[in-house]
Amino acid sequence: MASVQRPVAFGRYLLLDRISVGGMAEVFKGRAFGVEGFARFVAIKRILPHLAEDRRFVEMFITEAKVAVQLSHANIAQVYELGRQDADHYIAMEYVSGKDLLSLHHTLKRTGERLPVALTAFIGARVAEGLGYAHRKRGQDGRPMGIVHRDISPQNVLVSYDGAVKLIDFGIAKARIRSYEETQAGVLKGKFGYMSPEQIIDGDVDPRSDIFALGTVLHELLTGKRLFFGDNDFLTLELVREADVPPPSSLNPEVPAELDAILLRALARERADRYQTAGELADDLARYLHQSGPGLSGKGLADWMRTRFAEDLAEEKQRDEA
């Protein structure tokens, strides 16, 4: 996490640390204040300055907020408001104290570790539950919103030190509030290695595309290796298009046959052969966890996170108290 040189006032918020920066926006840890000493931590997502005048990016940013603010689920980071401070559009959202799966995976890889199999399945079940909710979500008019995330990747799954699992970043989501052509704009967006075959072939995505992407993330966590990763973008796209998926157990003997079967179904090349809903995937992962041993809960994940990242947690608390 890159700290700002000093806390910076930003409207009614105080920006403390820059958490991440992407192609469209940067995210800060901030603090919101109210009356009688009220204060809480928030995440502030701010469109990058050089894109502030690009109407296409601004509209994409606004659409993300309009989609995400309608979602209220334990496994989706809550959006509080869309605002504008001077020339900067921003989204204020729930701050999750923890790690995204990308940084978690990189930390484990450096030390030759893997995320325990049961915890991987638990995280997958929670993300699938959040996805299932988003896919089923209806608008205020009662019609399905038609939400497809389209960017399920390790960066967009957060695991908190308290054992919560949160899906973030609906920045390129397909939803009924804007046309698919507008979001696609003739350009493949997202991370190539986490796309589905149909997203690459013709861009015709539906909820089963998110299921494939989630399967890709879980396969990587179980094996410690990228599933689709070529020497260049073209080769990566070809690997996704072919979708030749080895069972995770071929790279990690700790993965049982039951979990192999779940992952291979989620990663079927043809959509008709995959889980048809994220809820079905969540149910199978939950069933596997129940049958494989004592029920795993968020507390088990929290205990592991707090033990494995004790130093990082202590450093964050120290900064918060400074």
Catalytic member of 100, 151, 169, 284: 151
- Would you say 152 and 214 are in contact if contact means Cβ atoms under 8 Å apart? yes
Beta-carbon contacts of 96 under 8 Å, excluding residues fewer than 6 positions away, are 43, 77, 158, 160, 164, 166, 168
pLDDT in tens, 65-96: 888 999 999 999 999 999 999 888 999 999 99
- What tokens does 298 get? 């968020």
Give, as one character, the DSSP assignment of residue 228. S
Query: Is residue 151 annotated as part of the catalytic site, yes or no?
Result: yes
CA 6 vs CA 41, 90, 129: distances in Å = 16, 20, 39
For 313, list phi and psi in degrees, rounded to 5.
Answer: -65, -40
Residue listed under structure tokens 């509030």: 177
Collapsing DSSP to helix, strand or coil, 103 comes out as helix
Residue 60: pLDDT band with limits 50, 70, 90: confident
- Would you say 105 and 220 are in contact if contact means Cβ atoms under 8 Å apart? yes
Give me the mean pLDDT over the 276-296 stretch.
Answer: 92
pLDDT in tens, 103-142: 999 999 999 999 999 999 999 999 999 999 999 999 889 9
Asked whether residue 42 carries a pLDDT value surpassing 80, the answer given is: yes
The structure's pTM equals 0.92
